[in-house]
Amino acid sequence: MSNLYMTFASGSVADRFRENPDVLVASGNETILLAEGDKSPFQSGKTFRIEEAEGQFASKGNIVYANVPVDSNARSLLFHRLLTEKSRLGAGHDGFTAYRLGVDPDDNHGIVLIQFAEAGNKFRDSTDYVLFQEWLKDAVEQKGAGPIIKHYVVTEADNL
């Protein structure tokens, strides 16, 4: 499987990356930058090993990013559950574009990224999204910490 690279940026640095067609730039509480491949285009940030992937990231839309602090057994069980019920990952919902299930090799956390080219808010209002959140909470229950879930809009003009 490939790697996913993620970093955060602001100002002129984020603007410079917006010009790179291989980098996905999304805005939320901060600006998140994502890229896939064999080599990171970023000078700093995180590298995730992708275990499961479907679809290709689009240049615009919105992203649900979840950092799930779990051990390898809980992560494997969570990923198995999500892949068995892909609707929990947004598959089949209007505007679904892609998902990535991966591992942060530094601390073994699971990561989930889901992108919608449009209608991402409809997914976030769905029963599938509620169950997605429940499954993340169940996976981390034994660690005593909750999942960190953030939402990003890939281009601010989308206003999704």
DSSP string, 62-131: EEEEEEE---HHHHHHHHHHHHHSGGGGTTTSTTEEEEEEEE-TTT--EEEEEEESS-HHHHHTSHHHHH
| Whole-number Å distance between alpha carbons of 97 and 132 | 17
Predicted confidence band of residue 9 (pLDDT cuts 50, 70, 90): confident
pLDDT at position 14: 83
Question: What's the chain's length in residues?
Answer: 160
User: Which residue has better confidence, 156 or 45?
Assistant: 45
Task: Give the mean model confidence (pLDDT) for residues 127-156.
Answer: 77
Q: Could you tell me what percent of the chain has a pLDDT over 90?
A: 44
- Are 76 and 101 contacting, i.e. CB atoms less than 8 angstroms apart? no
pLDDT of residue 118 exceeding 80:
no
Statement: residue 158 has pLDDT above 50: no
pLDDT tens, residue by residue, 49-67 = 999 999 998 888 888 999 9
- For the chain, the average pLDDT equals 85
Average pLDDT over residues 115-127: 85
Residue 101 pLDDT? 97
pLDDT for 144: 54
Binning pLDDT at 50, 70 and 90, where does residue 30 land?
A: confident
What pLDDT band is residue 112 in, cutting at 50, 70 and 90? very high
Domains and CATH numbers, the chain: 45-158 (3.30.70.100)
Please list, in sequence order, all residues whose beta carbon lies within 8 angstroms of the beta carbon of residue 39, skipping any fewer than 6 positions away.
none
pLDDT for position 147:
65
